[in-house]
Structure 1
Amino acid sequence: MDTVAAAQGKPTLQIGVEPVGRAEVTVSVHGELDCATADQLRSAITELLNRGGLTAIGLDLRGLTFIDSSGIGTLVVAQRICQQVGVRMRLTAVNAFAARVLGVVGVDAALGLPATAGAPAALVGAD
Structure 2
Amino acid sequence: MSGEHRPATGPDLRVTVERVSESVCVVRPVGDMDMDRRHQFAAALDEAMQPPAARVVVVDLAGLGFCDSTGVNALLTARTTASAAGIRLVVAGPSQQMLRLLEATGADEVFDIEEDVDAALNAADG
Q: Per the shorter chain, which TM-score range?
A: 0.7 to 0.9
Go from structure 1 to structure 2 and tell me whether the alpha carbon gap of 1:50 and 1:18 turns closer, same or farther (over 3 Å shift).
closer
Report the equivalent of 1:82: 82
Task: Tell me the alpha carbon deviations over residues 25-78 of structure 1, each in whole angstroms, 9 at most, x when there is no partner.
Answer: 111111122110110111112122223231110011111111112111111011
TM-score, normalised with respect to structure 1: 0.75
C-alpha distance 108-19 of structure 1, shift in aligned 2 (>3 A): same
State the alpha-carbon separation in 2 of the partners of residues 52 and 23 from structure 1.
Answer: 9
**Separation in 2 of the partners of 1:62 and 1:68?**
15
Displacement of 1:125 in angstroms is: 2.7
Give aligned pairs, total.
110
> Where does residue 31 of structure 2 map in the other structure?
31
Structure 1, unmatched stretches of 5+, are 6-10, 115-123
| TM-score with structure 2 setting the length | 0.76
CA RMSD in angstroms comes to 2.2
Contact 2:69 2:101 in 1 (8 A): no
Distance in 1 of aligned mates of 2:20 and 2:109: 23
1:1-127 equivalences under 5 Å are: 11-113=11-113, 124-125=115-116
- Unaligned regions of 5+ residues in structure 2, if any? 1-8, 118-126
The amino acid across from 1:47 in the alignment is E
Q: Answer with 1 or 2: which has the greater Rg.
A: 1
